[in-house]
């Protein structure tokens, strides 16, 4: 059996480390985990991205996620790390207008891409309509999921407009309807542990101009 510990490494690390680690069979009274320490030194790369309309050139370890690049290299900490496993949506940003879990993609894959984070959508005093709607409807409690929810919500409305079907779209050949069911389904990749879903939906619905 593979050492269970391996599975706990976050995904980008796992991709790399599974190449170099040994698999150990543990028996009852034996050594727990062993792992070859001989990982070759990681390669660094230069990446140039346009983040929030500004061009940035950074040098990152090839295994650095886009999330870590944004948070740790560019100090754009508005994008949050909830799970680092692509399962909570807190790290949602927009790449070339489409939403993406930034923890699930490597920074080096985004050479030349245009990226919008929560900071790029708007700032206090000059909020994006979606941000303003979240304020108006109290679309949060602790606020940790909020940047991801807002980026996702902005992109969801675009997806619907572009006619991209979802799991609940009944006729995938027709334009996806702008219903609360559609929005709810499409927003289901963004966990809000505080359970502010009602207010989040109210905010999105207001911006979408649909009726609840």
Partner 1 sequence: MDKSAFEERKTISAPMHASLRHDSAHKHVAGSADYIDDMPEPEGTLHAALGMSDRAHAEIVSMDLSAVRTAPGVVWVMTGADVPGHNDISPTGRHDEPVLAEGRVEFHGQPVFAVIAESREAARKAARLAKIEYRDLPHWTEVTDTLENGATLVTDPLTLSRGDADAALAASPRTISGEMRIGGQDHFYLEGHIALAIPGEDDDVTVWSSTQHPSEVQHMVGHALGVPSNAVTVQVRRMGGGFGGKETQSNQFAAIAAIAAKKLKRAVKFRPDRDEDMTTTGKRHDFLVAYETGFDEEGRIQAVKANYAARCGFSSDLSGPVTDRALFHADNAYFYPNVRLTSQPLKTNTVSNTAFRGFGGPQGMVGGERIIEEIAYALGKDPLEIRKANFYGEPGSDRVLTPYHQPVEDNIVARIVDELDHSSDYKARRRAIIDFNAKSRVIRKGIALTPVKFGISFTATWYNQAGALVHVYQDGSIHLNHGGTEMGQGLFTKVAQVLADAFQVDIATVKITATTTAKVPNTSATAASSGSDLNGMAAFDAARQIKERLVAFAAEKWGVSPDDVAFVPHHVRIGETLVPFADFIKQAYMARVQLSAAGFYKTPKIHWDRAKGMGSPFYYFAYGAAVSEVSIDTLTGEYQVDRVDILHDVGRSLNPAIDKGQVEGAFVQGMGWLTTEELWWDDKGRLRTHAPSTYKIPLASDRPKIFNVRLAEWSENAEPTIGRSKAVGEPPFMLAISVLEALSMAVASVADYRHCPRLDAPATPERVLMAVERLRGM
- Work out how close the CB of 66 gets to ligand FES at its nearest, in angstroms, rounded to a whole number: 10
- Residue 122 contacts which entry, partner 1, ligand FES, none (Cβ below 5-8 A, type-dependent): partner 1
In sign, the C-alpha dihedral spanning 45, 50, 51, 57 is positive
Nearer to ligand FES, 24 or 197 (CB): 197
Burial class (CB in 10 A: 0-12, 13-18, 19+), 22: exposed
Name the minimum Å distance from CB 49 to partner 1: 18
Q: How far apart are CA 121 and CA 127, in angstroms?
A: 7
Binding site for ligand FES (CB under 6 A): 81-84, 86-91, 101, 103, 140-146, 192-194, 196
Min CB(33)–partner 1 separation in Å: 6
Instruction: Locate 159 and state its tokens.
Output: 């997806």
CB of 141 to partner 1, least distance (A): 4
Query: Which one, 47 or 130, has the nearer CB to partner 1?
Result: 130
Tokens 């295994």 belong to 63
Rounded distance between C-alpha atoms, residue 183 and residue 149, angstroms:
12
CB neighbours (10 Å) of residue 161?
A: 12
Query: For partner 1, which is the closer residue by CB, 3 or 44?
Result: 3
Using CA atoms, how far residue 99 sits from 85, 94, 159, in Å, is 16, 4, 9
Which of ligand FES, partner 1, none binds 101 (CB below 5-8 Å, type-dependent)? ligand FES
Out of partner 1, ligand FES, none, what residue 29 binds, judged by CB under 5 to 8 A for its kind, is partner 1
**Which residue lies nearer to partner 1 by CB, 56 or 85?**
85
Contact 80, 148 (CB under 8 A): yes
Q: Would you say 47 or 153 has its CB closer to partner 1? A: 153
Shortest gap between Cβ of 174 and ligand FES (angstroms)?
31
Q: Which does 19 bind (CB under 5 to 8 A by kind): ligand FES, partner 1, none?
A: none
Secondary element (H or E) of residue 94: strand 92-95
């Amino acid at each position: 059996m593979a050492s269970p510990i391996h599975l706990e490494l976050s995904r980008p690390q796992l991709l790399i480390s599974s190449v170099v680690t040994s698999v150990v069979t543990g028996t009852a009274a034996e050594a727990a985990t062993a792992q070859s320490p001989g990982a070759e030194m990681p390669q660094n790369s230069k990446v140039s991205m346009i983040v929030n309309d500004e061009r940035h050139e950074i040098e990152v370890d090839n295994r650095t996620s886009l999330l870590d690049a944004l948070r740790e290299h560019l100090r754009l900490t508005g994008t949050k790390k909830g799970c680092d496993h692509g399962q909570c949506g807190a790290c949602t940003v927009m790449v070339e207008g489409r939403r993406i879990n930034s923890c699930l993609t490597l920074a080096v894959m985004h050479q030349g891409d245009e990226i919008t984070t929560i900071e790029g959508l708007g700032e206090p005093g000059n909020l994006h309509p979606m941000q303003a709607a979240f304020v108006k409807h109290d679309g949060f409690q602790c606020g940790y999921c909020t940047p991801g929810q807002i980026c996702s919500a902005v992109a969801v409305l675009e997806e619907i407009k572009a006619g991209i079907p979802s799991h609940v779209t009944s006729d995938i050949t027709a334009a996806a309807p702008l219903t609360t069911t559609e929005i709810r389904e499409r927003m289901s990749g963004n966990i809000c542990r505080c359970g502010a879903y009602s207010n989040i939906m109210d905010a999105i619905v207001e911006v979408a101009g649909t009726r609840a």
